[in-house]
Amino acid sequence: MFAIVLGMLIVICGVLFLRMHAFLALFFGALVVAAVTASHSISDSALNHVTATITQASGQRLLLGDVGEDLAKKPGAFYVVPNASASVPPTLVWVDAFIEEDGTAIAMLSQADSVDSWTGGQLVPESKYTQAKQLAGSSPINRVAAALGKTFEKIGILIAMASIIGQCLLVSGAAERIVTGIRNALGERWTTLAFVISSFVLAIPVFFDTVFFLMLPLAQAMARRTGKDYLKYVLSIIVGGSLAHSLVPPTPGPLFVAAELNVSIGAMVIGGIGVGIWGVIAGYFYMLWANRTWQIPLRVEASTSTDSISSPDAINQNMPGFWFSILPVIVPVLLLGLKTFHQTMGGGPDGPLGEIWDSTVSFLGDKNIALSLGAILALLILITRPAMTWAGLAGSVQKALSEGGVVVLITCAGGAFGEMIRQTNVGETIAHALPASVGGVGLLVTAFLITVAIRVIQGSSTVAMITAIGIVVPVANQMGLPFHPVYLALAIGCGSKPLPWMNDSGFWVISRMSGFTEKETLKTFTVLLTIMGVVSFLATLVFAMVLPLV
């Protein structure tokens, strides 16, 4: 636990007090944790769920208990690792077969020399044992570098493509076309609902800060036009965009958490929308109450004219069509959802056509392919705009990748930090320390509270999710989950929302851009996100109990 506390102090103090870049804070935290972790903890963490305890050794029969869920019961070479009190070295044996007798797993050996000291020891596959020893013997910097590369393999392409989609939507005018299209469809009476829906849709491929920058001039223009309800228009943007930032990939936080828990992107998207909608509803009603309770005036000049809001003809002339604009967002979501549904239904029909269908869905529904197709569509929208040149297109892509590269670095450093925490074997320690009565629901509550604590301490919701997952995943692996791991990912995402305050960059973006005072931001933005996070978490608990999906 000392290593974990030390690493978290480095990350939190580095970000909060030293104003260190998040990548450096996470990288140095990971390196320190790796350096102070004992080699036996590293090897033990690598062997979790691939071992079995020898409860009785007799001749060529080894009776097994606590069989790891990832232990392949197949003939092959295994190491018998005696317990510490035996004081004998590990023995390499050959297992001919695994059998079951009265519910007990038994390993049948080809031969056995001395088995007296084997009771209480561990049966470990030779390949896993060798890998664990090699990992324990490698240098701290090599382990950190390997974890960085492993994280990039999971999310590097996704973040790059999401950055391209977001940049192209902004530059081409497609993002504003989505907003105005939804508003025109719902009518002026439902402008706030249009803002909620638009910001939620845009926050899937575009970072929340950028969504707020894009839509705030529209909110200011509406407030100038009506002469009231400025707070309602501003909060409607936050209601729609903030939860998608933490619950719906491909934004970095939920994308990383889903990858660490081996949750498909499609399942995370569906789950994020499914629980997030309840937080959005709660936030919407709080927004209406806050607007009636406090009259906050528009103190800054709107940068968007009311004409651009109210003239559909001008919109149609200067922006791409609505359905063309929204394709880069909905096509990846539909492909990911199709693959998730396809897997849930057990695949397509039998025969050659079924095999072709399975291969097609598997290819198009791959997360990297789906996001890449979305990026291609976004590029097509941008290059078809009047006066757009190939040089301009290249510049937009370069800007997107430059901004996305920073996010990739931070996220990969967070992955390395989480991996170094896992190598301390903290999962076993915490799992044994928790009361036996703590089950799956208790683990969800624990994950939520850990994320809330880290979020309040250091401010960043993404860093909170990245740090919390490194602590929670080992515990989940030790205890097991009675429900789909997507619920654990959602609990962590919900925990990154409550209690944003002055150490959160988003707090200052909202305050300064909207013209709110610090007190006004605390009683509106801070309370709003807290309500939304808690309500979404309660929805996650209910779904996990009623619809476990195991």
The tokens for 421 are 């925490």
**pLDDT value for 221:** 67
**pLDDT value for 425:** 75
Any idea what the Cα angle at residue 471 is, between residues 488 and 255, rounded to 5°? 50
3-class secondary structure for 64-78? EECCCCCCCCCCEEE
Q: Which residue has the tokens 């990154």?
A: 496
| Of 358, 179, 359, 369, residue with least CA distance to 266 | 369
**pLDDT value for 10:** 85
What is the C-alpha to C-alpha distance for residues 182 and 110, in angstroms, rounded to an integer? 71
Cβ atoms of 80 and 90 within 8 Å: the answer is yes
**pLDDT value for 346:** 67
User: Strand 122-125 vs strand 76-81: parallel, antiparallel, or unpaired?
Assistant: antiparallel
Q: Is the peptide bond before 254 cis (omega within 30 degrees of 0)?
A: no
Q: Which amino acid is at 279?
A: G
Whole-Å CA distances, 275 to 260, 315, 526 = 20, 34, 20
Cβ atoms of 204 and 240 within 8 Å: the answer is no
Q: Could you tell me which residues come within 8 angstroms of residue 519 by beta carbon, excluding any fewer than 6 positions away?
A: none
At how many degrees (to 10) do helices 265-293 and 191-202 cross? 150
Task: Say if 75 falls within a structural domain.
Answer: yes
Half-sphere exposure at residue 391, Cβ-oriented, CA atoms within 13 angstroms: 1
Task: Say if 309 falls within a structural domain.
Answer: no
Q: Any alpha helices (H) in 77-139, and if so which ranges?
A: 126-137
Task: Say if 57 falls within a structural domain.
Answer: yes
- H-helix or E-strand spanning residue 109: strand 104-109
Task: Say if 474 falls within a structural domain.
Answer: no
What is the C-alpha to C-alpha distance for residues 348 and 46, in angstroms, rounded to an integer? 36
Q: Which amino acid is at 230?
A: Y
The range of the structural domain enclosing residue 85 comes to 50-127
What is the C-alpha to C-alpha distance for residues 467 and 485, in angstroms, rounded to an integer? 17
DSSP designation for 542? H
What is the C-alpha to C-alpha distance for residues 315 and 326, in angstroms, rounded to an integer? 15
Task: Say if 425 falls within a structural domain.
Answer: no
Predicted TM-score (pTM) of the model is: 0.68
Separation of first and last alpha carbons in the chain: 32
What is the C-alpha to C-alpha distance for residues 63 and 526, in angstroms, rounded to an integer? 57
Cβ atoms of 76 and 126 within 8 Å: the answer is yes
Q: Could you tell me which residues come within 8 angstroms of residue 402 by beta carbon, excluding any fewer than 6 positions away?
A: none
The tokens for 459 are 């401010």
User: Strand 76-81 vs strand 61-65: parallel, antiparallel, or unpaired?
Assistant: unpaired
**pLDDT value for 432:** 59
| Four-CA torsion 497, 503, 505, 509, nearest 10 degrees | 90
Could you tell me where the beta strands, DSSP code E, fall in 343-413?
A: none
| Of 417, 413, 376, residue with least CA distance to 252 | 413
Report the CATH number at residue 118.
2.40.10
Specify burial of residue 208 (Cβ count, 10 A radius: 0-12, 13-18, 19+).
Answer: buried
DSSP designation for 80? E
Give tens-digit pLDDT for 313-361. Answer: 444 456 788 788 888 878 887 887 787 677 666 666 777 777 888 888 8
Whole-Å CA distances, 405 to 15, 163, 208, 268 = 19, 9, 17, 23
* Long-range CB contacts (within 8 A, 24+) of 96-99: 98/73, 98/74
**pLDDT value for 300:** 54
**pLDDT value for 304:** 40
Counting as low any pLDDT under 70, the low residues of the chain are: 1, 16, 69, 85-86, 113-114, 188, 205-207, 209-210, 213-214, 217, 221, 300-318, 340, 343-348, 426-439, 458-459, 502-503, 505
Task: Say if 64 falls within a structural domain.
Answer: yes
Task: Say if 102 falls within a structural domain.
Answer: yes
Give tens-digit pLDDT for 236-263. Answer: 989 988 888 888 887 778 888 888 888 8
* pLDDT-above-90 percentage for the chain: 18
What is the C-alpha to C-alpha distance for residues 544 and 483, in angstroms, rounded to an integer? 6
What's the total number of domains in the chain? 1
Q: Could you tell me which residues come within 8 angstroms of residue 527 by beta carbon, excluding any fewer than 6 positions away?
A: 286, 290
Instruction: Classify 233 as helix, strand or coil.
Output: helix
Task: Say if 316 falls within a structural domain.
Answer: no
Cβ atoms of 450 and 466 within 8 Å: the answer is no
Q: Could you tell me which residues come within 8 angstroms of residue 536 by beta carbon, excluding any fewer than 6 positions away?
A: 243, 247, 275, 276, 278, 279, 490, 493, 494, 497
**pLDDT value for 480:** 74
- Distance, C-alpha 344 to centroid of its chain: 21
**pLDDT value for 433:** 60
Cβ atoms of 518 and 500 within 8 Å: the answer is no
